[in-house]
Structure 1
Amino acid sequence: MTDAAHRLLWTIVALLLVAGGTTALVVSFGALPGGDPDAALLGSGLLDAWRLAAPWNTLAAAVAGVLTALAGQRLLDRELRRPGRALCGMLSHPGRHPGRTRLAAEVLVDALERDLTGDPRVRRARVVLTGAPPRPDVWIRVDLAADARTDGVREHVDAAVRRFATTAGCEPAHLDVTARIDPGRP
């Protein structure tokens, strides 16, 4: 999931929570036309149905709470962990002639990091390969010098990724690049 998708997901969750809270607040103040601030929020019919389902209503609420907690835990787990499982081992490509070409994933990662840090504007680079070998996902983080122009760095990263794709013989299925200004140097 890209950074934009994460932002969209959390924006939707936040808007739903704000809308629910605002609705409950407006109803509790009696600001809705025909609303009574002393009346139950759920209405008498729903409260009667809740009371009729006597021992099972508590169980249903507990199950709904556990499912909601598990869904929230899974969402947080996916948001807080590193991108995917790192690709390790060998990338294997069938050749035109009988035989296969095998490349160690760590060697490709090191080569791409060296290529990215070859530009003096890039202080550090971190690369993670994930996904299937023929079309891996490439996650790149570059720490830039404080005076680096982003358009020049973008061209440098694009060229490095093109060289990587040509060398590895595989086009990235997904490319995620994060650029940060290195705070360590003025």
Structure 2
Amino acid sequence: MKSPKSLTDLFEKNRHQSHLVQYQQKTKDFRAIKSLLSEYLDDNIAQNIIVCNFKNSILYLETTSAAIATAFKMYQSRILSQVRREINPATVTIEMKVSPKSTLVVTPKANDNKTNTADNEGLNQPLRSSKSIPSDVADSITSIAENSDDKLKQALLRLARHKPTSS
């Protein structure tokens, strides 16, 4: 296992460029890119994008939502032009990765000093707002099921039963 570098190694002056300076420059570039995204994108899109890396002239971004990634595609060429103009002219492309758990932030409750495992158990589970689907979707699934083979038909009909009950 590799041991952590000491501060003297990070600040060493006789190297061509110290690692700390490289990290500072990369952080500065990431902040500039995030600022550029906030300037040129809608607030909802920009807030849901994380600047992950800049490596081999490729800018890597990450989001939790495929919808955000699709919306970003509309602005991608404009953002790439601005990144080349304002931050790094060697930027070749931008790659967007969709990762649902990438920005999961767990904040502790204000007056809770101990960790409650019952409260934290569901943090990595996807949120489900309800166990029902819209009636029109259920009707469409039912009509598809009518022309399907037995195994698929049973699965689709089970799914269609999740339509909300009339009240």
Whether these two folds match at TM > 0.5 is no
Normalising by structure 1, what TM-score? Answer: 0.33
Structure of higher CA gyration radius = 1
TM-score by length of 2: 0.36
More strand, by proportion: 1
